[in-house]
Amino acid sequence: MYLSIIKKYILFTTIIILIYSLFAPKLSSFLYPIKRHSILDNFLKNTSINHTIDAKLFWQLRDNYYPGYIDIDKNGLHPLNEFPLVKNVPIEIGKNLIPIIHFSSRLISSYEVLLEKSKTKALLLKNNDDWITILHNNNEIILTKDKYIVIVFIKSISEMSKANGLYEYKDRDKKLLANKNWYVITVIER
């Protein structure tokens, strides 16, 4: 009888672990590449249909595509043009932009900058025939080349708050965000 209880416990535990590994977003995309590709395809399909990047869907893509870590420094990390992946992106990127958030994993690197509204201008593509344009409007660009996808956009702080769930900012954060836009550059490896 004691052995029967142990077998049931092991079976139950195995089933719970299996269910968790199948449905936990970060773990399932790590274990099952098909899940990762599905997340990316759904994002690109939504963007193509709506001709705009949904900030909340982008946030979910970035967080669930492949497990990684986030560096946050409100004073800024390294200048954007010093990050290796950004150097090869065919988009005009300001030389002195300093990201405050960097999400990094084996398959995705994402940089977020708070950009003064007065310095925000349309995103410009460099002349580069090697990249295929999926989306290009004043504040959003998605490009692909080989196994890479580049997502760049500028959104308002109110859209950022909807995307990441930070609806109530502390006073010091309100000062940091005043008169700013959310500028994101993301490089994804398929």
pLDDT attached to residue 87 = 61
Cβ atoms within 10 Å of 22's Cβ, excluding its own: 12
pLDDT attached to residue 94 = 61
pLDDT attached to residue 51 = 94
**Average pLDDT, stretch 4-9?**
75
pLDDT band at residue 44, thresholds of 50, 70 and 90?
very high
pLDDT attached to residue 96 = 63
Cα–Cα distance measured from residue 54 to residue 42, given in angstroms and rounded to the nearest whole number: 11
Q: Taking 70 as the threshold, does the pLDDT of residue 19 lie above it?
A: no
Q: Taking 90 as the threshold, does the pLDDT of residue 49 lie above it?
A: yes
Q: Using one digit for the tens of pLDDT, what is the confidence trace for 92-139?
A: 666 567 777 888 888 888 888 888 887 666 666 666 678 888 998 888
pLDDT band at residue 142, thresholds of 50, 70 and 90?
very high
Q: Which of 31-40, 52-61, 129-138, 152-161 has the highest mean pLDDT?
A: 52-61
Token pair in block for residue 159:
């859209």
Q: For the whole model, what pTM was predicted?
A: 0.76
From 54-58, 102-106, 140-144, the region with the lowest mean pLDDT: 102-106
pLDDT attached to residue 92 = 65
Q: Taking 80 as the threshold, does the pLDDT of residue 41 lie above it?
A: yes
Q: Taking 80 as the threshold, does the pLDDT of residue 169 lie above it?
A: no
pLDDT band at residue 39, thresholds of 50, 70 and 90?
confident
Sole residue written with tokens 């719970």: 16
Cα–Cα distance measured from residue 5 to residue 105, given in angstroms and rounded to the nearest whole number: 41
User: Which residues touch 105 (CB under 8 Å, ≥6 apart)?
Assistant: 65, 66, 67, 68, 69
